Amino acid sequence: METPGTTIAIIAILSYLLGSIPFGLLLTRMAGLGDIRNVGSGNVGATNVLRTGHKGIAAATLILDAAKGAAPVLALAVWPVGHADLGLMAGLAAILGHNFPVWLKFQGGKGVATSIGALLAIAWPVGLAFCIIWLVMLALFRFSSLAAIIAFAVTPVFAYALADKKVTALVVLLAVLGIVRHHANLRRLIGGTESKVGGG
């Protein structure tokens, strides 16, 4: 059954709006920590929230950011609307919402946690591969940005081996987006000024 264009548009918009919820900003404000955009890198993601020293809030941000990537994909799995590729589109829309939230003048996070959540829901072996690569690189080098860049760069290989062509194409797109979003971090890594997790 063909899904009407209006339905596809509504799903895309709702997924984007869900992804655009800035949990890092909301949680830090609720905790009385002020505006996270004035801390560290100014990013609203979990790594920057960790720079406030509140590990619990950073963990909650990480989980909620991942959940908003997974939620629209899983919702479409429970409520099929006749279009097999809608889950891929919904996951991508949620990631775009996180990266470019309309509420924050399109200045959002880098999409790492939201990408992990979406990929776990779309093709869990691929999402798990991304997560493991990120965690291992983070443990080895203690640079969250470097771990993310490596995970984004390597995961398309796993997608090619473990999933179909459409999932692989999505992962390649996410890799390009994720690496581009880390361009400032790349400059700091090259210049030796990038902050480590748990350090200066």
Domain limits, the chain? 5-191
Least confident of 9-13, 22-26, 36-40, 177-181: 36-40
pLDDT one-digit tens code per residue, 11-32:
999 999 999 999 999 999 999 9
pLDDT at 200: 47
CB 88 within 8 A of CB 171: no
- H helix runs in the chain, sequence order: 5-19, 23-30, 46-50, 55-78, 86-99, 112-122, 124-141, 144-162, 165-181, 183-191
Task: Give which of 54, 36, 11 is closest to 109, Cα–Cα.
Answer: 36
pLDDT one-digit tens code per residue, 41-75:
888 989 899 988 899 999 999 999 999 999 999 99
CA distance 166 to 13: 21
Q: What is the mean pLDDT of the chain?
A: 93
